[in-house]
Amino acid sequence: MSKARINLGKHGEDLAAAFLQKKGFQIIVRNYRQKTGEVDIIAMDKQTLVFIEVKTRSSLLFGQPFEAVTTNKQAQLNRIALDYMTRNKLLEQAARFDVVSILIPKNGKAEIEHLQNCF
């Protein structure tokens, strides 16, 4: 992956975290990694544990950013959520999966879309 693409993704995750905090989410951890994969943000939305995938693109040439959350990625997120909830004894906790889709065109004005309970 190119350095520019890595930087775009990191910038998108920073924007997403700030956006979610303004909406009242409490960020628990960012970039939670285990053997089963990684989730960009884990947060609490009131009483619900939320696993959030952030997708950032600089153009719509390859579609909307959220379209990159494939069924394979969804399965990986399910595995990492189960891992996190098991390790932290949260199996009884209400949980959901969200996607934050960010488009940052050349003008630099980010468009953020928050899709809740996606899968």
Q: Beta 95-103 vs 111-115: how paired, if at all?
A: antiparallel
pLDDT tens readout for residues 53-102 = 999 998 888 889 999 999 999 999 999 999 999 999 999 999 999 999 99
**Region 97-112 average pLDDT:** 92
Give the domain extent around 9: 3-115
Q: Give the chain's domain count.
A: 1
**For the domain that residue 107 is a member of, what is the CATH number?**
3.40.1350.10
Give the number of other Cβ atoms within 10 Å of residue 56's Cβ.
Answer: 24
What's the pTM?
Answer: 0.93
CA distances from 49 to 44, 61, 98, 100 (A): 5, 33, 10, 15
Torsion of CA 74, 31, 83, 101, to 10 degrees: -20
